[in-house]
Structure 1
Amino acid sequence: MNPPITLIPGWRLGRGPLAPLANALGAEWYDLPGYRETPFTADFADAVTRLIATVLPGTVLVGWSLGAMIALAAAARAPHHIGGVVVIGGTPSFVTRDGWSHGLTPEALAEFRAAIAEDEPAMLPRFVGGFNRGEPESKTLTAEILATADPAPSLEILLAGLDWLATVDLRAELPSITTPVLVIHGENDPLIPCAAGEAIAQNVPQGKWLPIPNAAHAPFLRHQATIVEAVSSLVS
């Protein structure tokens, strides 16, 4: 029997864009704190603790973007409880730091946070359109994501997620993740550089690297079959 799979969406967009992938994988959902039925917490460590307590032993966590960061943190803390991690468009550190150049500058993220606080609805199309740059069908993909995105949670919840992106640094925890980790990354991702995902695969003991050519930050939209095959190989 294959292990259970739980899919964790990324910041702001919720389940909608990932629904076809979840159906294809037969995955359950674990929403970010404050989204849908998941209780809100502004504390990242508390969010990780709650995730571990919720999923069954041996669960394979499939996380997209911010969801991937929570999945990795859970695997680092509870390697005997988490059966595997699939990272889609993920990074150990969203912003640049000393010794880490594969991210957004803290200043750029702070500017984005301020713009979200001022007018989130106006910023959403710019955000989605921006991370689809590099896709052959970028405008079509952007329209699809905007049409399927879940309603926005409260501004407090959105800003808490951006604060996590500004502060969380998982680089030191990667070697302690002993469960298998499959890292899937669009080669043309303009939001999280491909090198960030590759660094995850290189620094966990059981890492596998799967770059997706001609894909940006949401490779599951046009490369679902490739992703499902790779995930199935991991869990079988």
Structure 2
Amino acid sequence: MFIMGLGYPSAMWHRTRPALAARYRTIALDNRGAGRSDTPPGPYSIRLMASDAAAVLDAAGIESAHVFGVSMGGMIAQEFALQYPQRVLSLILGCTAAGGPTAVRADAEATRLLMRRDKMSSEDAAEAAVPFIYDQSTPREWIEEDLAIRRPWFPSPEGYAAQLQGILAWEAYSRLAQIVAPTMVIHGESDRLVPPGNANLIAERIPGAKLVMIPRASHLFLTDQPEAAHRAILDFLAAQSAATTAGKDRERAEGQPLGDSSSQNFGEEEKASC
């Protein structure tokens, strides 16, 4: 299950879904206030948006899934893993933070852009964000592809503000040690919006978490370095499948009853239930 970031539509998984679809069923949800989902009155708490993700799995008839969230979506994924641990086969946290006073803040220019977003047109805001979310080595045509995909789904000012309020009010750092799912934390080394120090903080707190830093990649590391990012993600998922198979083989050898044999999912595209 893919969970996108602040104001972004699920369509922005356009590079990653095809890379994983050959091996996994995939679901990409639109958070409330973004994409094709409704924009009810805010604010939207991160916990509320995690419950939306659970509702998407319910609607698709999926009991458990690998969960991959980026940016705000990574916050929702953390909360989902805390609230619904039995539903998380593994957890991938991309370009995200754990909130609270320990979080490493965006640089001053990026922070000013976030705070004045409501005074800019969607087109101007998207272009102004480019230096903060893409690495300088990324081809402009890749950036244009992203902008073309986002353009029909730019969020309303109300939806953007409601999501941002949820981010500012949320904290999970003090609870990260409670996450039991196998976890990979993946981050671009040049991220100015959510500095990579946040990845270190998260990986240090979640038991057994794997940390992957992507060189020449910023906040949108899936666009900056898609091959490197997808390789790391697929390797991590393959390791989880291998561990599950090994565990079942041990159970058979020991004559123990097998655990849940439900299929592994990232899911199929659904709207969040708002």
Q: Which residue of 2 aligns with 1:74?
A: 80
CA deviations over 1:56-93 (Å, ceiling 9, x no partner): 22211111111111011100111111111111111112
TM-score (norm 2): 0.74
Q: Which residue of 2 aligns with 1:181?
A: 183
CA separation in 2, counterparts of 1:171 and 1:107? 25
- Which structure is larger by alpha-carbon Rg, 1 or 2? 2
Q: Which residue of 2 aligns with 1:119?
A: 120
CA distance change for structure 1 residues 210 and 105 in 2, over 3 Å: closer, same or farther? Answer: closer
Identity fraction in percent: 21
Q: Which residue of 2 aligns with 1:231?
A: 233
CA separation in 2, counterparts of 1:217 and 1:210? 14
- The answer as to whether partners of 1:128 and 1:146 remain within 8 angstroms in 2 is no
**What are structure 1's unaligned runs of at least 5 residues?**
1-5
TM-score (norm 1): 0.84
- The answer as to whether partners of 2:13 and 2:28 remain within 8 angstroms in 1 is no
TM-aligned CA deviation for residue 39 of structure 1: 4.2
CA separation in 1, counterparts of 2:235 and 2:139? 29
13, 16, 20: which is aligned to 1:21?
16
Map 1:89-128 → 2, pairs under 5 A: 89-93=95-99, 98=101, 100=102, 102-104=104-106, 109=111, 111-112=112-113, 114-121=115-122, 122-128=124-130
The more displaced of 226-235 and 152-161 is 226-235
Which of structures 1 and 2 has the larger relative contact order (alpha carbons within 8 angstroms, sep 6+)? 2
Q: What is the root-mean-square deviation in Å for CA atoms of aligned residues?
A: 2.4
- The answer as to whether partners of 2:214 and 2:229 remain within 8 angstroms in 1 is no
CA distance change for structure 1 residues 138 and 51 in 2, over 3 Å: closer, same or farther? Answer: same
SS in 1 for 2:8: coil
CA separation in 2, counterparts of 1:54 and 1:16? 16
CA deviations over 1:138-194 (Å, ceiling 9, x no partner): 655543322221421221101111112222111112111100111110011111111
Q: For this pair of structures, how many residues does the alignment match?
A: 225
